[in-house]
Amino acid sequence: MSRHRIKDVDYDDDDFYDDDDELADPEEQEFLQQCTTAVLQQLRAGQPSVTATKEEVQDALWHYYNDIDKSVNYLRGKREKEAAKLQKSKIQPGLPVPAYPAPPSTAHFSAADFFRDCPWLNIPSHRKSEILIEPLYPRLGLLGGAPENGGKLSKLAALAAARKKKEGEKAPSLSETPTPSTPKLEQPTPLDHSGTSRSLRDRLAASGRSTPKAPEGPGSLRRLATPSASSHPIPKRPEAETKRPSVPELSGSMQRVVLEAKEEPEPQQTMPTIRASPSTFASTIVGAATGPTAAEPSHLHSTSSDLLRIYGQDHAEPFDFAAPSPDDVVLNAQNAAKGMKSKSAATKSAAVKKGQSDLADGVKELSVEDKVTVKSKNLDVISEYKKSTRKRSANFVVIGHVDAGKSTLMGRLLADQGAIDQRTLDRYRREAEKIGKGSFALAWVLDQGSEERARGVTIDIATNQFETDKTAFTIVDAPGHRDFVPNMIAGASQADFAVLVIDSSVGSFESGLKGQTKEHALLVRSMGVQKIVVAVNKMDTVQWDRERFEEIEQQISAFLTTAGFQDSNISFVPCSGVLGDNISRRTNDPHASWYKGHTLIEELETSEPYTHALEKPLRMTIGDVFRGGVQSPLSISGRIDAGSLQMGDHILIMPSGETATVRSLEVDSQPSDWAVAGQNVVLNIANIDPIHLRSGDVVCRPSSPIPTITSFTAKVLAFEHLMPMQVDVHRGRLHVPGRISKLVASLDKASGAAIKKRPKIVGPGVVVRVVVEMDQAVPLEAPTRVVLRAGGSTVAAGLLE
Amino acid sequence: MADRRRINGPPGGTRPPVFASLQESSTDIANRAQRQRQPTELRKIFLKAGLIPTASGSSYLEFEPSASLAAARSNPKSLIPPSSALKLACTVHGPKPLPRSAAFSPNLVLTTHVKYAPFAARKRKGHIRDASERDLGVHLETALRGAIIAERWPKSGLDITLTIIEAEDDRWWGDAPDSHDASWGMMNVLAGCITAASAAIADAHIDCLDLVSGGVAALVSDDSSQSASSAPRLMLDIDPAEHRSILSACVVAYMPARDEITELWLKGDSSRAALDRNDGRTGHEALIDGAVDAARGANTVLAEAVRESIARSFA
């Protein structure tokens, strides 16, 4: 376009030179003629000579600005390229590499043909890579199988369809030139398309079409394959025999058969069908309809004997698999027997009904486990207890700051009272010295755990018994370390009174006062302990300094009084656990001559007998669950808080709600038939799975179960600042996470009247009524002492309301 | 737990003792099974599809007892039958959805289980499938996978279970094992399994390219004298008990309408086959061709059985 515009403007004469066709400029044309003839001459003269049309030459000249040499070179090069291309295209059809191999000319494709090119097994290594056999048939087309009319074609499918259509147009031209040598046999359809990928569906459709109209030669493959022609396989290739002698035959004998077959026009008549009638066995399965013409006799018996007749079952019907199998019959019968209810017996007579309901009950009671039935002696436990001449028993818990010498003091007590024999003590002493902790030897009497011994601290409570002339004592040795206060609470809950051990050595007492001495004292008081014996330990380290003792006495008694202990229930004993002075014997140390009071053991014995709620319903907190031995596979230990218990009793474990039977029981390690509140017992129980038992669970009677609750109101004494906060609720062994949801009111200590309703926060030392909620249901009931702890310290303790 | 509901047989094989002197005796030679069929003659097959109503497809197949077995049954001379005839049952369950745990499959997932009944063979089989049974299962799966149009059932599974009720012997029971021994009976069993499974699949109305049938051919040398004429001959559908020595055998699974082999199993040494002078084929090729012929023969029975079962289902 732009060219024309320029032309119209007539801007420059040079513009006309390229439009020589249109311009009939005679000069230009003549020049062009001259150049053309020159080029053609040069082309013809060159080696090899090349011909070109006039138009081509003039084109070239125009492009090369009438440069003759350049035009000649260009035309020569062009001709050479064309020649090379032509040669290539001439060679291509001659190459014997079709996309698919030519269809085999025989009807049946023989294995021999297939492997003709392949030396079997002795393949030279250099040829191994070349024997890749081309797929015989067109592969299944991945594309082009999309529905023709239904649904929208995907792009890919559309592309494939277009390709298919294009190739379909080509295909007729190819197939119109059949090779005359090919026999006019109906080939399996996939074979007659060379290089045309076709969908599976097409092929199936094509073969389906071709089947009926297949021009069947006498031995065509189709005919054999067609089910209607139930012929023997042998006479299949007479035609192959005649037409293609190069096709190898099976063997000589087979050839003979083939020839015979050829002679007979209808091979089906002479060749027996290889379809057999069912054997005796098969006819039992298949049924009589297709039964054998003559029953095949068993090889074990003579002709006359029929296997079924032997067993008198000639009326036997074939099993048709529709009915339930013999296994099913048995299983159904068993299930029916198990599931039989008295309902089914309702129509029967009364006697039958009774018998069946008995059976049903019996079946109901059946279980995999063996029920243990323990015969109860039906004792009147309370009167038995009153009759018994058992010694007075007392539990006391030993509390105090860590390393105050609690375990050592108790070890000494036990050793002096003969509860531990001298040999054991000597062994402990040796072993303790071996690891360099000679002073811990006595503590090892109670600290049995390997970790406790290695660390030299008590971790869990340990109980031990010893007896004096008047009383049977149970020691509960509590850990002093602040990390194990929960264990100490568990121990304190079992105690009637407490022994507070105080380290009198310089510095230790003061640190203890700040530490667990106070906390423990507060805890035991809030757990309901009334009486406390203060053992001022390690007096030997301060040379039995009377002033030191009195200073401690003063401080501690002042504290204990504020904690709620009555003066009459507080007593002080200066002693030395390691030496044993003033424990069970008076000290010989002259420095201690000032002390005229009781020894520790005498002080313990002054405790008056404790009354327990024997008449109340049974309550016992499980302290430990263990395997007692072969005789008693499952045992629980603990202290009976209230009520009584005897052998054979059924008990209920809360919160799991499972019942169990008391197989036998031990009181203070002695077998007994009964136990009452206040006693430490081991119950050997049965008929319960151990997973329902945890320490902290409560044992009660099924008739009066302890309620499990998730929230309670308690009147507590605050040790720290209290506000709605997360706390741990402790009761004996039991401790569960919970939270103070509400501070109801702060109360007057003496009267219990409300001072301030709904305080937001209360300080230490204030009695307050709180509502505590817990995440899980916990067995708790009204007069229970609970301790609330948070962040590793005791924040409050009090009474559940 | 022991199986207490059934009366179980002894755990091991219970073959009566056979003495070497007895084997040499002429009477026993007479007892020996002899092939009385032509080399290219097939045993008759009984095949019936659709027996088990609880399965989506099923079939039962048995081979006609060989002439010697039939004779021994009618007029028993010994407690031990001279040969055995294949009996097997096939059930097809599916197509059914794959379990949730299974990975996605765009095709029908084929599972084949071949199990000998404990009493099927002369040596008792255990209740757990052993290596040979699993091997048969794999062969069968290969044979069927080529025939089933698996892409029509995505996310589906097809369980094919074959129970061999009576298996074929590997050799005559009185023969001592020799160097040519292999589990020849297994090949007959596989051929039967293929045919029966094909019938059961058709009975389950599962789309296939063609009915695939199994056929066996073998090179056997029957003459005891080692003369030149005793070169191994090609036989179709051998009963291993009828031959002294089987040199090699071949099983094919064959689809006649497409002229395709889906499974090929060759065993033994076929280099010494005595073929016709102008027969250019090697022994292997002759074996394969023979097996294909046998499979074609089986296919006639198969086609008829399938037609019957279809007719019954529409009746």
Nearest to B281 among A233, A248, A286 (CB): A248
Contact A112 B280 (CB under 8 A): yes
pLDDT score at A217: 39
Minimum Cα–Cα distance from A110: chain B residue: B289
pLDDT score at B296: 94
Q: How many CB pairs lie under 8 A apart between chains A and B?
A: 178
Better pLDDT: A349 or B76: B76
Q: Is residue A270 within a helix (H) or strand (E), and if so which, with residue range?
A: helix A267-270
Query: What is the token pair recorded at A73?
Result: 């070179």
Most confident of A17-26, A297-306, B41-50: B41-50
Beta bridge partners of B160: B92, B112
Average pLDDT taken over every residue of chain B = 86
Nearest to residue A207, comparing CAs of A225, A183, A195? A225
Residue B256 binned pLDDT confidence (cut-offs 50, 70, 90): very high
Does residue B123 carry a pLDDT above 60?
A: yes
User: CA torsion, points A75, A76, A77, A83, in degrees to nearest 10?
Assistant: 110
Q: Report the distance separating Cα B257 and Cα A208, nearest Å.
A: 10
The 10 Å CB-count burial string (b at 16+, else e) for B197-224 is bbbbbbbbebeebbbbbbbbbbbbbeee
pLDDT score at B167: 93
Query: What is the token pair recorded at B308?
Result: 């019957």
Q: Is residue A741 within a helix (H) or strand (E), and if so which, with residue range?
A: strand A734-747
pLDDT score at A208: 44
pLDDT score at B27: 54
The one-letter amino acid code at B80 reads I
The one-letter amino acid code at B146 reads G
Does residue A487 carry a pLDDT above 50?
A: yes
Lowest mean pLDDT among A276-290, A503-517, A683-697: A276-290
Residue B230 binned pLDDT confidence (cut-offs 50, 70, 90): low
Q: What is the mean pLDDT of residues A532-554?
A: 87
Give the number of other Cβ atoms within 10 Å of residue A599's Cβ.
Answer: 19
The one-letter amino acid code at A509 reads F
Q: Report the distance separating Cα B70 and Cα B37, nearest Å.
A: 13
Minimum Cα–Cα distance from B300: chain A residue: A230
Q: Report the distance separating Cα B5 and Cα B31, nearest Å.
A: 39
Pairing of strands A726-731, A734-747: antiparallel
Contact B38 A231 (CB under 8 A): no
Q: Report the distance separating Cα A30 and Cα A235, nearest Å.
A: 86
| Cα-Cα-Cα-Cα dihedral sign, residues B127, B130, B132, B137 | positive
Give A188→chain B minimum CA distance, Å: 6
Give which of A117, A279, A284, A328 to mutate to test B binding, by max B Cβ within 10 Å.
Answer: A279
DSSP reduced 3-state for A236: coil
The 10 Å CB-count burial string (b at 16+, else e) for A601-619 is bebbbebeeeebbbeeebb
For a pLDDT cut of 90, what percent of chain A falls above it? 0
Give B223→chain A minimum CA distance, Å: 17
Phi, psi (degrees; rounded to nearest 5) at A672: -150, 160
Nearest to A252 among B276, B284, B290 (CB): B276
B198 near B206, Cβ under 8 Å?
no
Does residue A303 carry a pLDDT above 50?
A: no
Does residue B269 carry a pLDDT above 80?
A: yes
Pairing of strands A767-779, A785-790: unpaired
Sorted by where each starts, the structural domains of chain A and their CATH numbers stand as 2-92 (no CATH), 381-605 (3.40.50.300), 619-700 (2.40.30.10), 708-800 (2.40.30.10)
Give the number of other Cβ atoms within 10 Å of residue A552's Cβ.
Answer: 23
Using an 8 Å CB-CB cutoff, list chain A residues near B281.
110-112, 248
Pairing of strands B109-116, B213-221: unpaired
Pairing of strands B109-116, B156-166: parallel
Using an 8 Å CB-CB cutoff, list chain A residues near B258.
188, 190, 207
Give which of B44, B220, B284, B285 to mutate to test A binding, by max A Cβ within 10 Å.
Answer: B285
Q: Report the distance separating Cα B45 and Cα B140, nearest Å.
A: 19
Q: What is the mean pLDDT of residues A539-563?
A: 86
Residue A705 binned pLDDT confidence (cut-offs 50, 70, 90): confident
* pLDDT digit string, tens, across residues A219-236: 333 333 344 433 444 444
Contact B42 A274 (CB under 8 A): yes
Phi, psi (degrees; rounded to nearest 5) at A195: 70, 10
Using an 8 Å CB-CB cutoff, list chain A residues near B298.
274
Task: Scan for tokens 């296919």, then name that residue.
Answer: B299
DSSP reduced 3-state for B235: strand
The one-letter amino acid code at A287 reads G
Give A297→chain B minimum CA distance, Å: 6
Give the CA distances from residue B251 to residues A75, B62, B236, B280, in Å, rounded to whole numbers and listed in that order: 68, 17, 10, 22
- Using the Cβ of A236 and the Cβ atoms of chain B, whether some distance falls under 8 Å is answered with yes
| Cα-Cα-Cα-Cα dihedral sign, residues B291, B297, B300, B302 | negative
Query: What is the token pair recorded at A170?
Result: 């080509």
Q: Report the distance separating Cα B207 and Cα B188, nearest Å.
A: 26
Q: Report the distance separating Cα A42 and Cα A39, nearest Å.
A: 5
Contacts of A271 (CB under 8 A, 6+ apart): A231, A232, A234, A235, A261
- Using the Cβ of A304 and the Cβ atoms of chain B, whether some distance falls under 8 Å is answered with no
Q: What is the mean pLDDT of residues B72-79?
A: 79
Nearest to A188 among B234, B259, B297 (CB): B259
Give the number of other Cβ atoms within 10 Å of residue A1's Cβ.
Answer: 5
Average pLDDT taken over every residue of chain A = 72
Using an 8 Å CB-CB cutoff, list chain B residues near A224.
256, 296
Nearest to residue A117, comparing CAs of A98, A97, A134? A134
For a pLDDT cut of 70, what percent of chain A falls above it? 67
pLDDT score at A610: 73
* pLDDT digit string, tens, across residues A235-264: 444 443 444 434 344 444 444 444 444 433
Contacts of A669 (CB under 8 A, 6+ apart): A465, A682
- Using the Cβ of A232 and the Cβ atoms of chain B, whether some distance falls under 8 Å is answered with yes
Minimum Cα–Cα distance from B308: chain A residue: A227
pLDDT score at A148: 47
Beta bridge partners of A181: none
Better pLDDT: B189 or A350: B189
Contact B307 A227 (CB under 8 A): yes
- Using the Cβ of A115 and the Cβ atoms of chain B, whether some distance falls under 8 Å is answered with yes
Residue B289 binned pLDDT confidence (cut-offs 50, 70, 90): very high
Phi, psi (degrees; rounded to nearest 5) at A621: -90, 130
Sorted by where each starts, the structural domains of chain B and their CATH numbers stand as 40-314 (3.30.230.70)
Contact A290 B65 (CB under 8 A): no
Pairing of strands A650-654, A698-700: antiparallel
Give A454→chain B minimum CA distance, Å: 50
Nearest to B64 among A211, A233, A276 (CB): A276
The one-letter amino acid code at B166 reads E
Give the number of other Cβ atoms within 10 Å of residue A310's Cβ.
Answer: 12
Q: What is the mean pLDDT of residues A401-407?
A: 82
ipTM of the complex model: 0.79
Cα radius of gyration (chain B):
20
- Using the Cβ of A135 and the Cβ atoms of chain B, whether some distance falls under 8 Å is answered with no
Give which of B37, B93, B258 to mutate to test A binding, by max A Cβ within 10 Å.
Answer: B258
Query: What is the token pair recorded at B199?
Result: 């019938």
* pLDDT digit string, tens, across residues A558-573: 888 888 888 888 888 8
Minimum Cα–Cα distance from A252: chain B residue: B276
Contact B38 A275 (CB under 8 A): no
pLDDT score at B88: 95
Lowest mean pLDDT among A260-274, A291-305, A670-684: A291-305
* pLDDT digit string, tens, across residues A572-619: 888 888 888 888 888 787 888 888 888 888 888 887 777 777 788 888
Q: Is residue A490 within a helix (H) or strand (E), and if so which, with residue range?
A: helix A485-492
DSSP reduced 3-state for B74: helix
pLDDT score at B204: 93
Contact A233 B42 (CB under 8 A): yes
Q: What is the mean pLDDT of residues B79-99?
A: 90
Nearest to B40 among A120, A230, A254 (CB): A254
Does residue A516 carry a pLDDT above 80?
A: no
Q: Is residue A201 within a helix (H) or strand (E), and if so which, with residue range?
A: helix A200-210
Contact A111 B285 (CB under 8 A): yes
Is-cis flag, bond preceding A215, omega within 30? no
Contact A299 B73 (CB under 8 A): yes
A476 near A461, Cβ under 8 Å?
yes
Phi, psi (degrees; rounded to nearest 5) at A458: -80, 135
Give A191→chain B minimum CA distance, Å: 10
What stretches of chain B show up as alpha helix (H) in DSSP?
Answer: 20-24, 26-31, 67-74, 131-145, 184-203, 283-314
Nearest to A276 among B46, B54, B233 (CB): B46
- Using the Cβ of A84 and the Cβ atoms of chain B, whether some distance falls under 8 Å is answered with no
Give the CA distances from residue A603 to residues A493, A567, A591, B221, in Å, rounded to whole numbers and listed in that order: 21, 15, 21, 111
Does residue B108 carry a pLDDT above 50?
A: yes
pLDDT score at A65: 85
Nearest to B62 among A236, A273, A282 (CB): A282
Residue A755 binned pLDDT confidence (cut-offs 50, 70, 90): confident
Using an 8 Å CB-CB cutoff, list chain A residues near B65.
279, 296
| Residue A270: exposure state from Cβ atoms within 10 A (0-12, 13-18, ≥19) | exposed
| Residue B307: exposure state from Cβ atoms within 10 A (0-12, 13-18, ≥19) | middle
